[in-house]
Homo-oligomer: A and B are copies of this chain.
Amino acid sequence: MAAERDPEGRAAARPLLTDLYQATMALGYWRAGRARDHAEFELFFRRCPFGGAFALAAGLRDCVRFLHAFRLRDADVQFLASVLPPDTDPAFFEHLRALDCSGVTVRALPEGSLAFPGVPLLQVSGPLLVVQLLETPLLCLVSYASLVATNAARLRLIAGPDKRLLEMGLRRAQGPDGGLTASTYSYLGGFDSSSNVLAGQLRGVPVAGTLAHSFITSFSGSEVPPDPVLAPAAGEGPGVDLAASVKEWLERVCAHLGLGVQEPHPGERAAFLAYALAFPRAFHGLLDSYSVWRSGLPNFLAVALALGELGYRPMGVRLDSGDLLQLAQEVRTVFRATAAHFQVPWLESVPIAVSNNIDEEELARLAQELVSVGGQPRMKMTEDPEKQTLPGSKAAFRLLGYDGSLLLDLLQLAEEPPPQAGQELRVWPQGAQEPHTVRPAQVEPLLRLWVQQGQLCEPLPSLAESRAFAQLSLSRLSPEHKRLQSPALYQVALSERLRALVDCLRGGGPL
């Protein structure tokens, strides 16, 4: 394994993050003299998640980190000894102590690749015993990452390329690392940012966030800011008492909106003022702690307009309850009218963000209108790793048409010559009773060699590069396969030789 430093390597997964049956089987292989037999396993899925026709491959970087750090420490071996039979041969534990991944080879789809049913995301080969121990952690690292990335890609398809998508699911995540994984791979799949600070620190995910209801409701309105004076944005001229300015603007805003000046909640306004003093260049209003119309909106406008006089522009507002689309449209209307009334054109286009349990359906409704959407990607475990795999070591190719469109993915035996561009080919689409003939204009090998005999073969792309590659990959998929409900299934086909081998094994006959 390459000697690059990776301080988070061990954070990804520890060597004992495996099922006990992998360890008992390891002992079984060892006792049978087969520990160093060559073995290979493949990870693929049988059905695309979320009812779609595609998935995104992800998790490879965590697998490489894991392999790099894989080594059973004394404490690990002692723990295994405590749960295996007491009369187990001590030489087995010596074997475990010496294990590493120096004999392991990994081929995989690059992160962000389109992945289809039956096409391996990952091929891992090496000595039987170590490959068996690796199976569970690598499955764990790839399955969930790919699921989250696919989910994010679907939401990105709905939202279109320009809307901002912010992932904020940490508080409901499946434990701390479940949250870290979800934030990382939501970004890879197409989200713009995450609220998860640790994902920013450890993985370089852009982080974003402003304020929550608890901040607003923690203010009663009786608080006196210790220093309410704010300098102008340009840095020149005298400072202004922002608290006093907000008070004046509140009267003007309430008169404009036909509200009594007592109606907006004073605690909410104190919270907005405190936030504006801390973040004059990034002021943000969460509008629905009390009433949007009678409190949140006038309070926001008063603070935003007071800031505006000093040359600061608010970053936006957020709605977190109710009919988000209708509320957002009405808020936009008020922004426009108020902008005209006070002759402050920048107010017209203040971004409106929405959040609160946004699923694909709600996002589709919202995406017509809004610029920014935050929320928790819905995570359903509907992928189903195949139990019985296709036999033999396989190679996978993507065949493209003359217009660059994707024709199908082809699985064949590793020893077969790769398909040639421009040459006709007979293939067997999965589930079909008859072969099809294709003539690809281009042929792309799908599985890249990343780790050979424990050595990293090429640098892993950065997370941001994989994110860009995911969007590029998706852009090449035709609309009928990208459709989120009832999509046309993308074809995965077997070569004639692989198909013959499968038939033969199913029939139980000799090869």
What are 28 residue pairs bridging A and B, where the CB atoms are less than 8 Å apart in the complex?
A16-B197, A16-B198, A16-B201, A17-B170, A17-B180, A18-B197, A19-B168, A19-B197, A19-B209, A21-B211, A24-B209, A24-B275, A28-B274, A29-B215, A31-B277, A32-B225, A32-B278, A33-B223, A34-B223, A85-B282, A128-B218, A140-B175, A172-B381, A172-B385, A176-B177, A177-B180, A178-B178, A321-B387
Nearest-neighbor residue (CB-CB) of A20 within chain B: B209
- For the complex, is A279 an interface residue (Cβ under 8 Å from B)? yes
- For the complex, is A208 an interface residue (Cβ under 8 Å from B)? yes
- For the complex, is A25 an interface residue (Cβ under 8 Å from B)? yes
Those 4 A-B pairs whose CB atoms lie nearest each other, nearest first: A177-B177, A20-B209, A178-B178, A175-B181
Residues of B with C-beta under 8 A to A13: 176
A218 vs B381: C-alpha distance in the bound complex, in angstroms?
Answer: 28
Contact A25 B172 (CB under 8 A): no
Contact A33 B226 (CB under 8 A): yes
Contact A29 B274 (CB under 8 A): yes
Contact A198 B17 (CB under 8 A): yes
Contact B196 A19 (CB under 8 A): yes
Contact residues of A: prevailing secondary structure? helix
Q: Which of A106-114, A131-139, A487-495 contacts B (4 or more CB under 8 A)?
A: A131-139
What's the least CB distance linking A70 to chain B, in Å?
13
Q: Which of A76-84, A155-163, A340-348, A470-478 contacts B (4 or more CB under 8 A)?
A: A76-84
Nearest-neighbor residue (CB-CB) of A321 within chain B: B387
Contact B175 A145 (CB under 8 A): yes
Question: Which one of B79, B128, B218 contacts A197 once the chains associate, using CB atoms below 8 Å?
Answer: B79
Chain A residues close to B by CB (< 8 Å): 12-14, 16-25, 27-34, 37, 39, 41, 75-76, 79-80, 83, 85, 128, 132, 135-137, 139-141, 143-145, 168, 170-182, 195-198, 200-201, 207-215, 218, 223, 225-226, 271, 274-275, 277-279, 281-282, 320-321, 379, 381, 385, 387-388
Contact A21 B195 (CB under 8 A): yes
Nearest-neighbor residue (CB-CB) of A80 within chain B: B197
A100 vs B209: C-alpha distance in the bound complex, in angstroms?
Answer: 23
Contact B211 A28 (CB under 8 A): yes
Contact B171 A178 (CB under 8 A): no
Contact B171 A143 (CB under 8 A): yes
Contact A176 B137 (CB under 8 A): yes
What's the least CB distance linking A303 to chain B, in Å?
13
A139 vs B23: C-alpha distance in the bound complex, in angstroms?
Answer: 34
Residues of B with C-beta under 8 A to A271: 28
A294 vs B176: C-alpha distance in the bound complex, in angstroms?
Answer: 47
Contact B170 A140 (CB under 8 A): yes
A175 vs B175: C-alpha distance in the bound complex, in angstroms?
Answer: 9
Nearest-neighbor residue (CB-CB) of A194 within chain B: B20
Residues of B with C-beta under 8 A to A320: 387
Given known contacts A19-B196, A76-B201, is B174 in contact with A182 (CB within 8 Å)?
A: yes
Nearest-neighbor residue (CB-CB) of A379 within chain B: B174
Question: Which one of B32, B141, B381 contacts A277 once the chains associate, using CB atoms below 8 Å?
Answer: B32
Contact A28 B215 (CB under 8 A): yes
Contact A33 B140 (CB under 8 A): no
A271 vs B132: C-alpha distance in the bound complex, in angstroms?
Answer: 15
Nearest-neighbor residue (CB-CB) of A177 within chain B: B177
What's the least CB distance linking A421 to chain B, in Å?
36
Residues of B with C-beta under 8 A to A381: 172, 379
Question: Which one of B17, B135, B197 contacts A196 once the chains associate, using CB atoms below 8 Å?
Answer: B17
Contact A176 B12 (CB under 8 A): yes
Residues of B with C-beta under 8 A to A175: 140-141, 144-145, 174, 177-178, 180-182
Q: Which of A83, A128, A173 has the most CB of B within 10 A?
A: A173
Contact A218 B39 (CB under 8 A): yes
A197 vs B137: C-alpha distance in the bound complex, in angstroms?
Answer: 11
Residues of B with C-beta under 8 A to A144: 172-175, 178
A128 vs B271: C-alpha distance in the bound complex, in angstroms?
Answer: 14
Nearest-neighbor residue (CB-CB) of A138 within chain B: B171
Contact B275 A28 (CB under 8 A): yes
Residues of B with C-beta under 8 A to A225: 31-33
A143 vs B22: C-alpha distance in the bound complex, in angstroms?
Answer: 30
Residues of B with C-beta under 8 A to A198: 14, 16-18
